[in-house]
Structures are given as C-alpha cells and as structure tokens.
Structure 1
Amino acid sequence: MVTEVKIGSAESAHELVFSRAFAAPVDIVYRAWTDPDQLVHWWGPRGFSLTIRAMELKVGGVWDYVLHGPDGTDYPNRAVFEEIDPPKRLVFFNTGGHVSDRHLTCRMIVTFDGQDPHTLVTLRMLFASSASRDRAKARGAEEGGVESFARLSQWLARTGPSPQP
C-alpha cells in the first residue's frame, strides 16, 4: 500500500494531504496514533527518533514532543488537541519544526475510516497560507509525511492484529 499525497485540495489551496490504507482494524490504527508508547516507534521521517515530554489526550490537552534528526538536530513541537472523536477523528494545532523556522505550524486533521480488516487514514495539514505550505515542503514535510506513514505501516505489521491493553 502506498501513501497518496495531494498538494492543495478543493477545501484549501494551502494544505498537504496524505492518505493510506493500513492492514489493521480502525481501533488498532487509532490507538497507534494516540498511545505515546506506540507513537515513539513510528512518528516522524525515517532515521528520526521521538521524545514525548507530555501527551494529554483530551480537548485542550497538550502534546509536547521533540523529533530528533539523524544529524542530531532537534525539532521541538507542541500540539493542542482541538477535537477527539475515537476512533474516527483527531484534530490538533501543531506549532513546531526547526528551532529557527517553525515550518510545521499547521492544523492537523486526521480521519480514520475503518473498513475491516483495513483502515484508511487521511492526514490533512492545513497551513496559514500557500507560502507556509511551500516552506514546509521545502524543509521536507512531504517526504516526512510519506516516510511516517510507511513507518506506521511497518509498526502495525510488527505489532500484529490484536489491540494492546
């Protein structure tokens, strides 16, 4: 299964949209997105690692995390959850990216469409402007999203079909 990427859409000209079907039921895929113990295994581009400082999964809750690049560069991020509708939808406003360029500042809307035994995940990254989106693309957001979805697919294949307690 391949990640489909769209630049802009009918809803907004200044977004990146990633879609991919995963070979796992919706509850398992949703949990991989909301369980810090799972997120650390797949969130971020290939070669990156993740430190989660806090993750409060509730409306108004904060997800404070740092992506660590393979070259040693840290990319601090802070997200605030705006909508949580398990296991269908997550919406959060993310502020972050490189310390000198907060290129990943955008609203992220994640939908989970369960069609057992698969789940279609769509991530919309809605930026303030097309210029902001283009800056994020120039810093690798498109490749990072594709690689992150690939890592999620690998994680789900390793962890098997059973939901974790």
Structure 2
Amino acid sequence: MTDTSDREIVVARVIAAPRERVFEAFTEERHLSQWWGPEGFTTTTRSFVFAVGGVWEFTMRGLDGVEYPEWIVWEEIARPERITLLHGEHEGDPNAFTTVLSFTTDGAATRVELRTLFPRKALRDEAAEKYHAVEGGNQTLAGLDAYVTAAAS
C-alpha cells in the first residue's frame, strides 16, 4: 500500500445529529447552498445532480468579492455511510482532487470525516498554505453542524 499522507488533508467533526440527517445535507442543492464553504463565503449553483456521475457546478464568493468557479462530480454514493467526489475548477481540471466523506454513527451523533487526496504534494501544500484548506475545511464542517442542528430545533 502506498503512503499518501504527504498529499492528504483530513478534517473531521462530531455533529450532534443523526447520520441520516447529516448525510441528507449533501443530497440537495437547497441544503448545500445554506452551509457549504468557509465562513463568509456564499455558494451559487449553476447545475446540480446528486447521483453517481452527476455534477454540481457552482461558484463560491469570498468576503472580498473574489469568485471561485467550482465543479464536483459524485463518484460514489453509499447512503448514509460515504460519498466520494472529484473536485476541481472545471471538468477535466488536471489539478482536481478526490475527497471521501465518511459518516459514522457516534452514539446519537455523527462523526463526519473529509479525507482529501491531491494528485501531487505541491497541490496539497498550496491548498493548505495559500487557500487555508484545513481552516476552510473545519469552517465548512462547522457550517454543516450549525445547519443540521438548527434544522432539528
């Protein structure tokens, strides 16, 4: 087995909601647009199909007004345990990375883990240093947490 740790970013969070509810927040654009992305970012969807081979095309806008085109293809959907996706700026992006989202029951809560694998170490380092991917990943999971727990109240 090849060690890929130099190309990975892993973030996780335990969310006080059932696994099915947490998983559901990934399945429809109306949910994702409410919580996806780091603090202060907005998400505008151009197209969305949640199915294996389906695509989510969207734009994220930062607080500074900078827009980031995004493209995701859903590669695996195993309800409610796992989602695997390929994420880049556009279809065919040579720098696209793979993320495996795992949803594990933790008592009455759900542990969500995002394990992102970049094609090259330099891309992982750039994501971490220039784009603050670890902090952004943690903020994204915090947004998911706030969204699904507020939906329960």
Structure 2-normalised TM-score? 0.89
Instruction: Please name the residue that 1:155 is paired with.
Output: 147
Deviation, 1:33, is: 1.6
Structure 1-normalised TM-score? 0.83
2:127 is aligned with what amino acid? A
Q: Are 2:103 and 1:88 equivalent residues in the alignment?
A: no
Q: Deviations over 1:74-95 (max 9, x none)?
A: 1111111111111111001001
Runs of 4+ in 1 over 2 A off after TM superposition: 10-13
Q: Are 2:116 and 1:125 equivalent residues in the alignment?
A: yes
Q: Contact 1:26 / 1:116 at 8 angstroms: preserved in 2?
A: no
Residue 6 of structure 2 aligns to a residue in which SS?
A: coil
Q: Are 2:96 and 1:105 equivalent residues in the alignment?
A: yes
Unaligned runs of 5+ in 1: 1-9
Select 1:64's aligned residue among 57, 61, 71.
57
Instruction: Please name the residue that 1:4 is paired with.
Output: none
Unaligned runs of 5+ in 2: none
Q: Contact 2:77 / 2:84 at 8 angstroms: preserved in 1?
A: yes
Select 1:37's aligned residue among 19, 30, 33.
30
1:125 is aligned with what amino acid? T
Q: Are 2:128 and 1:137 equivalent residues in the alignment?
A: yes
Deviation, 1:116, is: 4.0
1:47 is aligned with what amino acid? G
Deviation, 1:68, is: 0.8
Paired with 1:106 and 1:87, the residues of 2 have a C-alpha distance of: 22
Deviation, 1:56, is: 0.9
| CA RMSD, 1 decimal | 1.9
2:49 is aligned with what amino acid? E
